[in-house]
Chains A and B, each alone.
Chain A
Amino acid sequence: MARYGLVINVKRCIGCNSCTVACKNWHQIGAGVEGRRRVVDVTSGRYPRLSKWIFPISCMQCDEAPCITVCPTEATFRRKDGIVALDAAKCIGCKQCIDACPYHARYFDEKKGVADGCDLCSSRIDGGLQPYCVESCATRAMVFGDLSDPQSDASRLIRSEKGIQLSPQKGTKPKVYYIGILGSALEMSIV
Chain B
Amino acid sequence: MGESPDRIVSTLCHGCSYGGYNCGILAYVKHGKMVRVAGNPYNPLSEGRLCPKGQSAVQWVYNEQRLKYPLMRIGERGEEKFKRISWDEALNLTAEKLRAIKEAYGPEYIMLSKGQSSSWLGLHHFLWMRFLHGMGSANLGWWGPYVCYGPQLMYHKLVIGGPTYARADYDNADLIIEWFTGGGTGGASRGGVETTDTNMRSVPVKILDRLEKGARLVIINPQLIPIGANGRTYKWMPVRPGTDSALALAMINIIIKEGLYDKDFVGKWCDGFDKLIEHVRQYSPEEVEKITDIPAKDIRAVAREYAKTKRACIRVSESPEKRDLQGFAMAIPILIAITGHLDRPGGNVWFHPACRLGFDTLVKTVPEEMKARIFGGEKFYIKFRGRTTCDLTSTIEALITGRPYRPKAMLWFGTNFMGTGRNPALIAEAVKKLEFIVAVDVVPTQATRYADIILPAATRYECDGEPTIWQDHLAIANKVIEPLWEARNELEVTLDLACRLGMEKDFWNGDYNAMLEEFVGPSGVTIEELRASGPKGIYVPRTELMDKRERYEMVFENLPNKKVQLYNSTLEQNGYDAMPTYKGEPEDPVTTPHLLKEYPLIFTDEHSQYYNHHSWMRNVPWLRELRKDPYAKINPETARQYGIADGDWMEIESPHGMMKAVALFFAGLRPDTIMGQHGWWQGCTALGLPEYPGFNGGTNPNVLYNYEQRDPMTENLTKNTLVRIRKTTPPDGVAPLKEMM
Contact = CB atoms under 8 A, between A and B. Distances in A.
Interface string A4-45: 000000111111111011101111101110000000000111
A24 B622 contact: yes
Contacts of B211: 11
A20 B51 CA distance: 10
A182 to B, nearest CB: 8
A171 interface: no
Interface in A52-93: 52-55
Interface stretch (A94-102, A130-138, A147-155, A162-170): A130-138
Given A25-B622, A31-B687, A47-B637, A18 B50 contact: yes
B226 A15 contact: yes
A28 to B, nearest CB: 7
Most buried by A among B230, B238, B666: B230
Contact of B36 (A28, A52, A55, A137): A28
B148 interface: no
Nearest to B620: A31
A180 interface: yes
Contacts, number: 138
A14 B204 contact: yes
Given A47-B667, A135-B39, A140-B205, A25 B226 contact: no
A21 B50 CA distance: 10
Contacts of A18: 49-52, 55, 200, 610
Nearest to A141: B208
B56 A21 contact: yes
A17 B623 CA distance: 9
B606 to A, nearest CB: 15
A172 to B, nearest CB: 25
B38 interface: yes
B310 interface: no
A43 B50 contact: no
Contacts of A180: 230-231
A123 B183 contact: no
Contacts of A54: 226, 229-230
Contacts of A12: 208, 212
A25 B667 contact: no
B667 A46 contact: yes
B418 interface: no
B166 interface: no
B185 interface: yes
A52 B668 CA distance: 8
Contacts of A123: 1-2
B37 A25 contact: yes
A128 interface: no
B635 interface: yes
B52 A21 contact: yes
B668 A25 contact: no
B668 A17 contact: no
Interface string B18-58: 00000000000000000111110000000011111001111
Interface string A95-118: 000000000000000000000000
B262 to A, nearest CB: 32
Contacts of B56: 21, 24-25
Nearest to A137: B49
B686 A31 contact: yes
Contact of A136 (B50, B224, B238): B50
A188 to B, nearest CB: 13
A17 B36 contact: no
Interface string B613-632: 00000000111111000000
A179 to B, nearest CB: 11
Contacts of B2: 123
Contacts of B394: none
Given A25-B58, A136-B48, A14 B183 contact: yes
Contacts of A25: 36-37, 55-58, 622
Contacts of B49: 18, 136-140
B667 A17 contact: no
Interface residues of B, number: 55
B38 A17 contact: no
Contacts of B50: 18, 22, 136, 138
B48 A139 contact: no
B55 A14 contact: no
A55 B637 CA distance: 25
A137 B50 CA distance: 7
A101 B626 CA distance: 23
Nearest to A23: B55
A191 interface: no
Nearest to B238: A48
Given A11-B212, A17-B626, A43 B204 contact: no
Contacts of B623: 21
A1 interface: no
B453 interface: no
Contacts of B361: none
A47 B670 contact: yes
A26 B36 contact: yes
B59 interface: yes
Nearest to B35: A28
A92 B39 CA distance: 35
Given A11-B232, A17-B626, A55-B230, A27 B1 contact: yes
Contacts of A21: 52, 55-56, 622-623, 626
A6 B201 CA distance: 23
B230 A10 contact: yes
B193 interface: no
B120 to A, nearest CB: 23
Nearest to B212: A11
B669 interface: yes
A136 B49 CA distance: 4
B687 A16 contact: no
B556 interface: no
A17 B55 CA distance: 10
B227 interface: yes
A149 B51 CA distance: 31
B622 A135 contact: no
B611 interface: yes
Given A25-B55, A28-B36, A55-B230, A135 B238 contact: no
Contact of B669 (A11, A47, A55): A47
A46 B231 CA distance: 16
Most buried by B among A15, A136, A140: A136
A15 B59 CA distance: 21
A14 B637 contact: no
A22 B38 CA distance: 8
A50 to B, nearest CB: 5
B258 to A, nearest CB: 26
Contact of A32 (B55, B231, B687): B687
B310 to A, nearest CB: 25
Given A11-B208, A181-B230, A136 B626 contact: no
A16 B236 contact: no
Interface of A: 10-18, 20-22, 24-28, 30-32, 43-48, 50-55, 123, 132, 135-140, 180-181
Given A18-B50, A52-B229, 19 more contacts: A11-B212, A14-B184, A14-B204, A14-B230, A16-B51, A16-B52, A16-B185, A17-B52, A18-B49, A25-B37, A31-B625, A31-B686, A43-B668, A47-B669, A52-B230, A54-B226, A135-B39, A138-B51, A139-B208
29 contacts: A10-B230, A14-B183, A14-B208, A14-B229, A16-B185, A16-B204, A17-B626, A18-B51, A21-B55, A24-B56, A25-B37, A25-B57, A25-B58, A26-B36, A27-B1, A31-B621, A31-B622, A31-B624, A32-B686, A45-B667, A47-B668, A53-B230, A55-B230, A135-B38, A135-B39, A136-B50, A138-B49, A138-B201, A138-B204
For the complex of A and B, the 4 pairs showing the least CB-CB separation, nearest first, are A31-B621, A21-B55, A52-B229, A21-B52
